[in-house]
Amino acid sequence: MQVCGTCEDYNKCRFKDDGFFDLCPRFNSLQKPLQSISAGSNQTCPDIDYGLLRKYFGYPEFRHLQKDIIIDVLKGKDVLVLMPTGGGKSLCYQYPSLLFKGTTIVVSPLISLMKDQVDGLVSNGIDAAYINSSLNNNDINKIKSGLEKNKIRLLYIAPERLTNPSFLTYLHKLKISLFAIDEAHCISEWGHDFRPEYRKLRLIRESFPDIPVIALTATATPKVQEDIIVQLNLRDCKKYIDSFNRKNLAYNVRPKQETFQQIVQFLRNRPNESGIVYCLSKKEVDSLTKRLQQAGYNALAYHADLSPNIRSANQEKFIKDDVDILVATIAFGMGIDKPNIRFVIHYDMPKNLEAYYQQTGRAGRDGLKSDCVLFYSYADRQKVEYFINQMLDERERRIALNKLQDLINFCETSICRRKILLGYFGEDFKEENCRACDNCLDPRDKIDASLEVFMIMSCIEELHERFGINYVADVLAGSKSQRLVQNGHSSLKSFGSGKNLGKKLWISFIRVLLQLGYLKLEGESYPILRLDQKGRAFFSDHCIGKKEAIFLAKPDEIENTVKPENPEYDHGLFEALRILRKKLADAENFPPYIVFSDVSLKQMAAIFPRNLNEFRKITGVGNTKLEKYGAVFVDEINRYCEKNKR
């Protein structure tokens, strides 16, 4: 049973409803000291203090897996954490830092990400700092002084700084309790965002063998997960893998036709909402930004050819809600912790599914409904293939082409897109209809394709399961390719048996059968088609006259309809609070979400807290924010209620 973190009594606490224990009568008078433990110690792990969680982070309880992860971290164990963007990874090392005697060192790849995290922690009343190239020597020396006096709970640094010999020597002077490696997938060459400087992080285990390590990422296939463990030399590592399913995101793939008009139509239904539009080239970013501005939209560009000052200014305006839309290349995004991004549009194809998952993951970090739209065309596919074929390393090129094929399968599938996306990361999504992707919301008509499926399987059998997708489709379509003729396969029974449908359609059918588990691909460099157990059973039954029907989607273009949500909150009050939040944030030079997230504002606009005790129950309201912002927000809510006679 959960126990009140302040009065230590469940039955007597008047405020036990909804988990708000720290509102008990003793809350304001009792100053409960933090129970500290040493890194790697064998002492009993301290009890999880829900009052501490509410006091510093404003949450009444932990999310799924967070408590178990935190307990292992406090026990000094190495941990690998996979949680989707917005799933609460940071809390898994930020909360333990409050209980450790020493400092938690956080390795983070980008300056902007460090700043956002530190600003958020400081605003919650937690001592945190970063050391990077944006600081002068005086600033760094002040931070070092605080570290040496053990006054800083968390220190954020880049991997290059941590592995610098002189900085490593300096770290040995400090009392370090934990190393947290953020964006840990960057250490693996199998990942989509491999960074050589991350490889050197293996020095952590060599230099600090007794300090526990927690590695965290939102995007890692099973192969990347194992590589992270090996590269960081994690010992007896416990893996915590949360679902990759971002339930609040709606996935939508549209044909790339009259794309600008489609985007404008999409934006008309989302006034004043924040969003990112990704383009493949800098030229496309500039062109699309200009067209959006001419159409009356508040949009800015972000790409590598802009000066650092302009890039930084545009990013700052987007983060602070001074601009609604950022049109960007993939150079933008990893360091962005903005929770109220309501949509991510891919004007061009990303390079692979990991990149797509990470980029779409920037939407809806606050858990509210958000849309992900990808415009797909064969021409874009050719562009990406061209860039991949410029790679000099043949192994890297093959890996990239295989990853591209997985993305194409996602774009061209007729089954649930969420099922395909989660399956790529090794997760089995069992529901037939996710109710939040275009294929589930507006499914295509299905046809009985039993004969076509049997023809595909017969062809694979005739080829002795030794060839890939394109070759099988060539045989069925009756191709006169030199390779096929030289192999003598123009004499097969299957040759030309499906020439009335054409190669492209046969490829489409084969991919659907792969996704449905009737076929499988084996081999990394040159994947070959084989019948899976399910397909072999169908083929055997069909051969003896037991003809099971298989219905596949009709291969037509789809028109997409993602219905907007209608949350139950007062939109007028939400807008008034949003303006107040912006005013307060600008005065402190903070992004608005550092004050309160959209989730908090929408709760206020639904619950109408009229005093500080009621306001304290809003998600995200900890002690520091209650004291700093509580009165002004409650006054605004009361003013709105009086004006509107509520």
Task: Tell me, yes or no, whether 579 and 546 share the same domain.
Answer: no
CATH of the domain at 625: 1.10.150.80
Return the pLDDT at 331. 66
Rounded distance between C-alpha atoms, residue 518 and residue 532, angstroms: 5
SS3 of residue 488 by DSSP: coil
Residue 578 included in any domain: yes
Task: Tell me, yes or no, whether 25 and 40 share the same domain.
Answer: no
The segments of the chain whose pLDDT lies below 50 read: 1-36, 38-45, 556-567
CATH of the domain at 483: 1.10.10.10
Helix ranges (DSSP H) in 322-447: 353-360, 378-389, 394-412, 417-424, 438-441
What does the DSSP assignment read for 178-244?
EEEESSGGGG-TTSTT--HHHHGGGHHHHH-TTS-EEEEES---HHHHHHHHHHHT-SSPEEEE---
Beta bridge partners of 274: 341
Return the pLDDT at 192. 63
Tell which of 494, 523, 553 closes a domain: 553
Task: Tell me, yes or no, whether 258 and 381 share the same domain.
Answer: yes
User: 18: domain range?
Assistant: 1-32
The number of domains in the chain is: 5
Return the pLDDT at 330. 78
> For the chain, how long is the longest CA-to-CA vector?
89
Task: Tell me, yes or no, whether 369 and 455 share the same domain.
Answer: no
Task: Tell me, yes or no, whether 513 and 499 share the same domain.
Answer: yes
- Give 181-225 pLDDT, tens digit per residue: 998 988 887 766 677 888 889 899 999 999 999 999 988 888 889
Residues written for the chain: 646
Tell which of 504, 521, 553 closes a domain: 553
What kind and span of H or E run contains 157? Answer: strand 154-157
Rounded distance between C-alpha atoms, residue 627 and residue 525, angstroms: 60
- Give 76-116 pLDDT, tens digit per residue: 999 999 988 777 889 999 999 999 989 999 998 877 778 88
Nearest to 298 by CA among 279, 318, 278: 318
Residue 196 included in any domain: yes
Residue 563 included in any domain: no
Kind of pairing between the strands at 551-553 and 446-448: antiparallel
Fill in the amino acid letter for 599: V
Fill in the amino acid letter for 122: V
Task: Tell me, yes or no, whether 467 and 479 share the same domain.
Answer: yes
Tell which of 180, 215, 241 closes a domain: 241
pTM, two decimal places: 0.63
Task: Tell me, yes or no, whether 233 and 84 share the same domain.
Answer: yes
Task: Tell me, yes or no, whether 103 and 207 share the same domain.
Answer: yes
Return the pLDDT at 304. 86
> Which residue in this structure is represented by tokens 């793939």?
253
Task: Tell me, yes or no, whether 539 and 401 share the same domain.
Answer: no
Residue 412 included in any domain: yes
Task: Tell me, yes or no, whether 20 and 150 share the same domain.
Answer: no
Residue 433 included in any domain: no
Residue 595 included in any domain: yes
- Give 568-626 pLDDT, tens digit per residue: 788 889 999 999 999 998 888 888 888 888 888 988 998 899 888 888 888 888 888 88
CB 6 within 8 A of CB 27: yes
Return the pLDDT at 564. 37
Q: In b/e form, how buried is each residue of 10-33, taking b as 16+ CB within 10 angstroms?
A: eeebebbeebbbbbbeebeeeeee
Task: Tell me, yes or no, whether 229 and 260 share the same domain.
Answer: no
Nearest to 420 by CA among 407, 405, 410, 432: 410
Nearest to 324 by CA among 250, 379, 268: 268
Residue 89 included in any domain: yes
* Neighbour tally for 421: CB within 10 Å: 25
Q: What is the dihedral of CA 253, 258, 259, 263, to 10 degrees?
A: -100
CATH of the domain at 343: 3.40.50.300
Task: Tell me, yes or no, whether 186 and 202 share the same domain.
Answer: yes
Residue 322 included in any domain: yes
